[in-house]
Amino acid sequence: MKHTTSAQFALLAVLGAAATTASAQSSVALYGLIDATFMVGHGSTANKTQLGNSGNTTSRLGFRGTEDLGGGLKAGFVLEMGLNNDDGTGATTNPNNQGTYRPATGRFTANASGGGGTTFNRRSMLTLSNTMGELRLGRDYTPHYWQYVFFDPFTMNGVGASQIYAGSLGGPTLVRASNSIGYVLPGNLGGLYGQAQVYLGENTGTEAAPIGKSDGNGVSLRLGWANGPWNMAVAMGRTQFALPGDITTSNAGLSYDFGRFKLSAMVNRDKVGSAAKSSGYLVGVSVPTASGELRATYSGSKAKVNGTSPEADKVSLGYVHNLSKRTAVYGTVAYLSNKGGATFGLNGATTAANTSSKGLDIGIRHAF
């Protein structure tokens, strides 16, 4: 007869506990997307041609899972990193919602860390949810950024991305915030949706320039309504900085789906203390086809910085052709005109003040 030792009993107990835990986990998934883009940019000063990425959808690798805790309560997590699949590197992250302010442009160079390997810069959060909504803890998108994604037909990707985003003075928390606590409304409110978020810079010290104790602290809110063909939302965000002053941003978006095509529009305003301010707009259309989607936008931005008023207008046109449910090819062209001393360039091209720039993306994306 074969005997089971106490050590074997202990091992079996551990394996049993692990199996119980695994069975309680309702889902764990690995997912991702690879988007390779041939990019061309033309400017009055210098042109650039490169193999890049994310011309249609941002390349990423992620893990997500949920566990049913009973009584309608679920725990979950999301770990998602950006990928530069053209050279194999990972994307960087901003650990404290801060950066270095550049008075000449009214913009921040955001603090960055990681990027050499696995850095979950896109999202890194733990969640708890039930019929009352969802609590999110960690790094996440700011609610005011979701406006750019939902109301720009190009979802802020590639050379077609709206000028309203490129011209924004929204600072380090324009897209995401670290050290955040967020709440998302449940999806059973008759079309009403919304999100609230507070985030921390986690500094020590006093409220004094150039770095104050509250630098990187902020709040962001979004409230919208989607019902049938209509979708409309407003959002705002405020991030504290001793120098040059708090960044405040507000925006509103509207779209209507006619069936054969969808129209969308968005406006945005940013203010950086008393040092600078900017505004932007976009109008867009997306037309579904038998095997893809045609997209077009007209957008612009204008700022007031150090007595100057740089301004730019942009036209973008693109088409996505689906080869399958997971794979698509695409092409996008864009033309940008600078005024008021602006020097925006497309796809890495550089331009002199008040000149134009042209850009082209051709690529393929695959989701898994």
What does the pLDDT look like over 162-185, one tens digit per residue?
999 999 999 999 999 999 999 999
pLDDT (0 to 100) of residue 25: 56
Assess contact for 271 and 236: CB atoms under 8 A: no
Q: How far is CA 281 from CA 147, 297, 298, in A?
A: 12, 10, 8
Instruction: Please report, for residues 27, 62, 101, 368, the alpha-carbon distance to residue 30 in angstroms, rounded to integers and kept in the order given.
Output: 10, 6, 38, 8
34-367: CATH number? 2.40.160.10
Instruction: Decide: helix, strand or coil at residue 145.
Output: helix
Instruction: Say how many C-beta atoms besides its own lie within 10 A of residue 335's C-beta.
Output: 15
User: Which of the residue ranges 19-33, 150-164, 196-210 would you say has the lowest mean pLDDT?
Assistant: 19-33
Burial class from Cβ neighbours inside 10 Å (0-12, 13-18, 19+) for residue 290 reads exposed
Nearest C-alpha neighbor of 324 from the set 275, 271, 361, 364: 364
- Quickly list DSSP for 149-183: HHH-TTTT-STTS-HHHHT---GGGSSEEEEEEEE
Q: Domains of the chain: which residue ranges?
A: 34-367
Q: How far is CA 274 from the centre of its chain?
A: 27
Question: How far is the C-alpha of 193 from the C-alpha of 180, rounded, in Å?
Answer: 19
Is 185:133 a contact under the CB 8 Å cutoff? yes
pLDDT tens digit string along 46-87?
999 999 999 999 999 999 999 999 999 999 999 999 999 999
pLDDT > 70? residue 2: no
How are the residues of the chain apportioned to helix, strand and coil, as percentages rounded to the nearest 5?
Answer: 10, 55, 35
pTM for the full predicted model: 0.90
* pLDDT, tens digit, 9 for 90 and up, residues 268-307: 999 999 999 999 999 999 999 999 999 999 999 999 999 9
Question: How much is the mean pLDDT over the chain?
Answer: 92
Q: How far apart are CA 249 and CA 211, in angstroms?
A: 21
Tokens of 302: 């204008």
Mean of pLDDT values over 109-131: 93
In angstroms, the first-to-last Cα distance of the chain is 50
| Residue 108 CB contacts under 8 Å (≥ 6 apart), including other chains | 98, 99, 100, 101, 102, 171, 172
Chain segment 265-279, per-residue pLDDT in tens: 999 999 999 999 999
The DSSP-derived string for 225-282 is: EEETTEEEEEEEEEE--SSS--EEEEEEEEEEE-SS-EEEEEEEEEEETTTEEEEEEE
Given the structure tokens 């001393």, which residue do they identify? 341
Q: What is the pLDDT of residues 42-52, one digit of tens each?
A: 999 999 999 99
pLDDT at residue 3 greater than cutoff 60: no
- pLDDT at residue 207 in the model: 67
Amino acid at the residue 183: Y
Contacts of 131 (CB under 8 A, 6+ apart): 72, 186, 188
Q: Confidence band (pLDDT; 50, 70, 90) for 116?
A: confident
3-state SS class at 186: coil
pLDDT at 117: 81
Strands 292-305 and 311-322: antiparallel
Q: Is the pLDDT of residue 211 over 80?
A: no
DSSP 350: B
Give, as one character, the DSSP assignment of residue 4: P
**Do residues 191 and 226 make contact, with C-beta atoms less than 8 angstroms apart?**
yes
